[in-house]
C-alpha cells in the first residue's frame, strides 16, 4: 500500500480528483468504482469543477457504485442513487445508462445481488475503485466478520454504522438496517484501489489498517493483500501512524 499524506480534507479531495482525472485521460473507457459517504464529496466537487473548466469527458466512462440501502428507491433523497446524481452525475457529461448502482428497491434483493455481480463480471471488472473506510473498518458496507470470499450480498448494518450514517437522515429510525454491497472479493478484483481517509474519527481505523493483522474482523485489512492500493489520508487521520508501516 502506498500512502500519500496530505494536509487536510481539501487537499485530499484535490489530490484524489487529480488521480481520477489522470486515469480517465489515460483511458476514456475507464470502469470506475465509486463510493458514497461524506469522504468523497469534495473529490466529486473537484471532478465537476475540472469538467467545467477543462472539459474532461466521462462520455465513455462506466461507473459501478459499491452499495445501496435496501428499501430506498432512487427518488429517495437518502438513497445512494440520489446522492450520486446530485453530487456528481448530474454535473458531468456521463451517460446515466452507464452508471450502475445496486437497486435498493428490488423485489428480490438476492436476485439483485446476483445481477450486479454478473454485470461487473460481464464488464470485465473495475479498473479503479474509490473507497472510504468506516470507523469500524468497513469497506463498502462489508461490516466486520464479512468473509473475504464474499461477492455482492445483502448485509445487516452494524449499529455503529447506523449511528454514523444517521447524520444524513432526519431521524435515526429512518436509517435502513440492511444494504446491498459489493463483497470483499468483488472489491479485491478491482485492478487498482484508491482509499480516501480524512479526519480524526478515522485515526483508530487507520492505526488498525496500517499496524494490525489481516483479519475478517477488520474488513479493510484485506487491502494489504491487494497489489495496487494507494491511500490518500490527511494529517488528522494518519499523523504519527505512518512511520510504523513503512
End-to-end alpha carbon distance in the chain: 9
- Residue with smaller CB distance to ligand GLP, 28 or 145: 145
Catalytic residue of the set 143, 153, 165, 234: 143
Q: Which of 12, 66, 220, 238 binds ligand GLP (CB under 6 A)?
A: 66
Report the DSSP pairing between strands 99-100 and 192-197.
unpaired
Catalytic residue of the set 50, 51, 112, 136: 136
- Residue with smaller CB distance to ligand GLP, 27 or 185: 185
Residue 135, C-alpha cell as written in the block: 470507523
Of 37, 35, 18, 34, nearest to 26 (Cα)?
Answer: 18
Using CA atoms of 163, 7, 30, 224 in order, give the dihedral in degrees to the nearest 10.
-70
> Nearest residue to ligand GLP, using CB?
132
13 touches ligand GLP by CB under 6 A:
no
CB of 55 to ligand GLP, least distance (A): 29
- Residue with smaller CB distance to ligand GLP, 56 or 233: 233
d(CA 56, CA 151) in angstroms, rounded, equals 32
Catalytic residue of the set 50, 67, 117, 234: 67
User: If 0-12 CB within 10 Å is exposed, 13-18 middle and 19+ buried, where does residue 144 land?
Assistant: middle
Report the DSSP pairing between strands 229-234 and 153-156.
unpaired
183 touches ligand GLP by CB under 6 A:
no
d(CA 72, CA 44) in angstroms, rounded, equals 23
Is 27 assigned a catalytic role?
A: no
141 touches ligand GLP by CB under 6 A:
yes
CB of 60 to ligand GLP, least distance (A): 25
Residues paired with 154 in a beta bridge = 180
3-state DSSP assignment of residue 99: strand
Q: At CA 76, angle to CA 71 and CA 82, rounded to 5?
A: 110
- Residue with smaller CB distance to ligand GLP, 117 or 143: 143
Binding mask 158-177 for ligand GLP (x = CB under 6 A): ---x---x------------
Residues with a known catalytic role? 67, 136, 138, 143
Binding site for ligand GLP (CB under 6 A): 35-39, 66-67, 132-134, 140-141, 161, 165
Amino acid at each position: 500500500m502506498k500512502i500519500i499524506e496530505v494536509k487536510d480534507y481539501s487537499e485530499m479531495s484535490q489530490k484524489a480528483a487529480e488521480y481520477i482525472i489522470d486515469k480517465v485521460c489515460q483511458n476514456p473507457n475507464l470502469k470506475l468504482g465509486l463510493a458514497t459517504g461524506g469522504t468523497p464529496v469534495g473529490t466529486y466537487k473537484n471532478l465537476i469543477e475540472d469538467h467545467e473548466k477543462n472539459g474532461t469527458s466521462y462520455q465513455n466512462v462506466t461507473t459501478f457504485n459499491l452499495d445501496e440501502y435496501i428499501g430506498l428507491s432512487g427518488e429517495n433523497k437518502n438513497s445512494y442513487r440520489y446522492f450520486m446524481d446530485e453530487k456528481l452525475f448530474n454535473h458531468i457529461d456521463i451517460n446515466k445508462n452507464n452508471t450502475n448502482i445496486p437497486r435498493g428497491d428490488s423485489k428480490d434483493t438476492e436476485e439483485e445481488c446476483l445481477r450486479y455481480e454478473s454485470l461487473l463480471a460481464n464488464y470485465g471488472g473495475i479498473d479503479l475503485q474509490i473507497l472510504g473506510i468506516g470507523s469500524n473498518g468497513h469497506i463498502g458496507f462489508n461490516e466486520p466478520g464479512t468473509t473475504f470470499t464474499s461477492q455482492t450480498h445483502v448485509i445487516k448494518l452494524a449499529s455503529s454504522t447506523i449511528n454514523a450514517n444517521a447524520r444524513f437522515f432526519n431521524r435515526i429510525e429512518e436509517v435502513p438496517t440492511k444494504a446491498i454491497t459489493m463483497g470483499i472479493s468483488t472489491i479485491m478484483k478491482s485492478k487498482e484501489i484508491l482509499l480516501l481517509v480524512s479526519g480524526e474519527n478515522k485515526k483508530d481505523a487507520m492505526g488498525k489498517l496500517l499496524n494490525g493483522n489481516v483479519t475478517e474482523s477488520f474488513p479493510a485489512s484485506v487491502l494489504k493483500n491487494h497489489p495496487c492500493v494507494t491511500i490518500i489520508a490527511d494529517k488528522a487521520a494518519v499523523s504519527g501512524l505512518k512511520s510504523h508501516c513503512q
